[in-house]
Amino acid sequence: MARRKQSANPQTGRLRIVAGNWRSRLLDIADVEGLRPTSERIRETLFNWLSHHIHGARCLDLFAGTGVLGLEALSRGAGSVVFVERSGVAVRQLEKNIAVLGATAATVRQQEAGDYLRSAPEGRFDLVFLDPPFAADLLEETCRLLAAQELLADGARVYLEQDRSCREPELPAGWHIIKNKTAGMVRYMLAQVERDH
């Protein structure tokens, strides 16, 4: 799940949807040590990158944490989002936020990300959000699993977020970084996936 450092910001207990149907809606954040929602600034940039690909997309929010990336996607017209999060506390808060928003196209799985991917869920995803705990160094392994399990539609986009001090992950064959930026201590990237035919 995404993790955050301690902050003096008094608003750390809430997050705001940036745009779309639920624009400016404030949602509570679970009290889970180290939970780090993706910032509004990064989300705004990311969803500008995705503006022509989000409508109707089938999305997967792995390491969901607060679920803010998947909720932002739903707010902007994604067709469905599967949220995968291991923390029971984070899952319960995410389910409450989904209910508050009336997000009927959301599915929540309390499960380790790797276990979920190995369970070979039905269908392929158009868009995947990967924002694992920075210290866990899980990006490469997770990308390999996504490719090996053939869970991505041709032309799918995969969002990757990591500590900027880390080396960029080695990606599976057919994956190409098409956007790459930093903000503060965060590097965030967007990959496009072309599967072998």
Average pLDDT for residues 26-53, to the nearest whole number? 90
CA atoms within 13 A on the CB side of 113: 25
CATH superfamily to which 14-193 belongs: Vaccinia Virus protein VP39 (3.40.50.150)
Q: List, for residues 110-139, the tens digit of each pLDDT value.
A: 999 999 999 977 789 999 999 998 767 899
Query: Would you kindly state where each structural domain of the chain is located, as residue ranges?
Result: 14-193
Mean of per-residue pLDDT scores for the chain: 89
Predicted confidence at residue 195, as pLDDT, reads 67
**Cα(13)–Cα(196) distance, rounded to whole angstroms?**
44
Q: Render pLDDT for 164-195 as a digit per residue (tens, 0 to 9).
A: 999 999 999 999 999 999 999 999 999 999 86
Per-residue exposure over 172-194, b if at least 16 CB sit within 10 Å of its own CB, e if not: beebeeebeeeeeebbbbbbebe
Residue 127 has, within 13 A of its CA and on its CB side, a CA count of: 26
Averaged pLDDT, 17-39: 89
Q: Residues for the chain: how many in total? A: 197
Per-residue tokens: 85: 């999060």
Quick one: pLDDT at residue 121? 75
Q: For residue 10, name the pLDDT band (cuts at 50, 70, 90).
A: very low
Predicted confidence (pLDDT) at residue 9 exceeds the cutoff of 60: no
Band (pLDDT 50/70/90 cuts) for residue 7 is: very low
Q: Give the pLDDT of residue 90.
A: 95
Question: Which three-class secondary structure string do you get for 46-79?
Answer: HHHHCCCCCCCCEEEEECCCCCHHHHHHHHCCCC
